[in-house]
Structure 1
Amino acid sequence: MKEQKRIILISLVTGIVLMVMKFAAYFLTNSNFILTDAAESIVNVVASSFAFYSIYLASMPRDENHPYGHGKVEYFSVFIEGALIGIAGVIIVLKSVYSFFNPEAIKDLLQGAIIIGFTGAINGGLGYYMIQKGRSLKSITIEADGRHLLTDTVTSVGLVIGLLLIYFTQILWLDSALSILVGCYILYTGYKLIRRSVAGLMDETDFIVVSDMVKVLDDNRRSEWIDIHNLRAQKYGSELHIDCHLTLPNYFDLIKVHEEVKMVETLVNDKAGIRTEFFIHTDPCIPKCCHYCSMPNCPIRAEAKREDIPWTMDIVMRNKKHYEQ
């Protein structure tokens, strides 16, 4: 968690510096177009501040009140960031519509474009770095903050192009018209972040993460693991929680059953790239399992194996043994 805190702190300090520069550009030019970027930078600072706190909270150990840990707080962080972006987008659109019908004089657009271009380049580099780190550290907060900064970079590129267009054409109403377009884009970005946070809070399955985990199990499955079914996944920050049923030979004793369950957990944690906690319910095999069971020298086999059933998301998530599917 120390590295996550350091990354968010860098984002916060950088955001404050760039926010001051953007507002300086706005006061220099009096451009609504630049104000859209400056207003969004306030969101960057507030969001990074809350992200820093959420990562601190997510790093706290489990307790009686939070038996699954505090990782879900990262989804609240993303929700607040998305909501703030949305509010900023609404304000920008309203202000730009007003200014479209009540235009004000703008000036020094070339200097403003240079300042905004510089801040956009900084945000672009930092955003790309944070997305890569967010993925490697399995932190939705850092990744969301990085995507927000990349959105800010796209906005800045549009700003620079728009400011140069206004500067060379002297069509002043373009300032408000382009601001409205940028405001709508910011609104859409806020919606996507809110949608992602709600999905996490509602325990929507992360199909990419779970598919990778299932593939690891399928590629490394043991003969003793006859089938896996009724698999359900929940994400808590950077951790994955899995409930599933594992069918094992019915003549295994409790010690052997425990060893096999532990092997499943160790395999996924070593090779799936995400820290995973398993709650595995073990089922005994029955004669109907024999036709897809690979267990060698089985003393109770009722029929020869005649089918290979690959473990896929569709199969392992059903609440049925493979012979029932």
Structure 2
Amino acid sequence: MRKMRPVRGQGQYRRQYSDDPDQRLHGCEDEAYPYGYGKAEYIVAVVIYLFLFVIGIYILFDGARAILEGRRVTPCLSAAWGAIFSIAINELMFRQSVCAGAQINSPSITAKAWETRSDVLSSIAVLIGILGAKMGFHFMDPLAAIIVGVIILRVCVQQVKGAITNLMDGASEEEMDDEVREALRGVANVSDIREINSREMGQELELEIRLGVPKDITVSQGETIKHETKQAIREIIDRKLRITVMLFPVSCNA
């Protein structure tokens, strides 16, 4: 018989051992946090984007002040080569980080990538300013800084909104729900798809499926339905999943 032990501080129980891969303990789970630390990724992402937001405000106001004060700075061309080198290196790092973040669905890595992209945008502003100053257009440097600041602020607002939505267990996209429903229609003995709930858990997507099944099926048939349901979902969603399937009896003429 499988042992059950209480989750500290909660009136719930969870399995210490299980044959179901969706119920096995992951390496980051413990008694205090039975669902792991996936949500911490969104907290890290919010902190990074807030830091970038402050940088964006500084760049924006510094550029505006430079225009109002009429600053005239003519940098040397060696600074332009340094800006070009910085753009190339940081853009490469950005693309690699975004690819890694998308591959494992890590919000914190994606946030770090956008921090690198802000360095790219800043270097572009520096390059434009240097070239503009050399041509006699001294306002181009602060103007480019203002544009970069606005872009950084816009990205930060969008990404923070998404991170907070996931922290609050916001609803998933309707398109994904429709795909899941379509896949489950092929599972035998499923009379009704009552509810599909999902939430982001950092690198994992957690799904909770409630299905109506004939009330006269056996326990073995119920387990088969659960297995086929999970298999059908994994075939259409290519990412790390944690799936919970609950069955409810319905009459044949329901």
Describe the SS at the equivalent of 1:261. helix
Are residues 142 and 212 of structure 1, via their aligned partners in 2, closer, same or farther at CA, if it must alter by over 3 Å? Answer: farther
**Percent of aligned positions with the same letter in both sequences?**
20
- 1:84 CA displacement: 0.6
Gaps in structure 1 of 5+ consecutive residues: 1-58, 290-325
Gaps in structure 2 of 5+ consecutive residues: 1-25
Are residues 66 and 80 of structure 1, via their aligned partners in 2, closer, same or farther at CA, if it must alter by over 3 Å? Answer: same
TM-score normalized with structure 2 length: 0.79
Describe the SS at the equivalent of 1:280. strand
- 1:119 CA displacement: 0.9
Are residues 197 and 159 of structure 1, via their aligned partners in 2, closer, same or farther at CA, if it must alter by over 3 Å? Answer: same
Matches within 5 A, 1:1-325: 61-168=28-135, 170-207=136-173, 210-211=176-177, 214=180, 217-218=183-184, 221-269=186-234, 271-289=236-254
Judge which range, 235-244 or 256-265, deviates more. 256-265
Q: Give the whole-Å Cα distance in 1 for the aligned partners of 2:72 and 2:132.
A: 16
Q: Deviations over 1:206-256 (max 9, x none)?
A: 3178348616724x7223223322111011111111122112222211122
Q: Deviations over 1:21-77 (max 9, x none)?
A: xxxxxxxxxxxxxxxxxxxxxxxxxxxxxxxxxxxxxx8521222121100011011
TM-score normalized with structure 1 length: 0.63
Describe the SS at the equivalent of 1:287. coil
Q: Which amino acid aligns with 1:96?
A: G
Are residues 184 and 266 of structure 1, via their aligned partners in 2, closer, same or farther at CA, if it must alter by over 3 Å? Answer: same
2:49·2:111 contact (CA, 8 Å) conserved in 1?
no
2:15 corresponds in structure 1 to none
Q: Give the whole-Å Cα distance in 1 for the aligned partners of 2:174 and 2:130.
A: 41
1:227·1:246 contact (CA, 8 Å) conserved in 2?
yes
Q: Please identify which structure carries the higher strand content.
A: 2
Q: Give the whole-Å Cα distance in 2 for the aligned partners of 1:159 and 1:178.
A: 8
Matched positions, count = 229
1:127·1:146 contact (CA, 8 Å) conserved in 2?
yes
Q: Give the whole-Å Cα distance in 2 for the aligned partners of 1:142 and 1:208.
A: 26
Describe the SS at the equivalent of 2:73. coil
- 1:193 CA displacement: 1.9
Q: Give the whole-Å Cα distance in 1 for the aligned partners of 2:170 and 2:129.
A: 40
Q: Give the whole-Å Cα distance in 2 for the aligned partners of 1:209 and 1:140.
A: 21
Q: CA RMSD in A?
A: 2.6
- 1:282 CA displacement: 0.7
Q: Give the whole-Å Cα distance in 2 for the aligned partners of 1:152 and 1:227.
A: 52
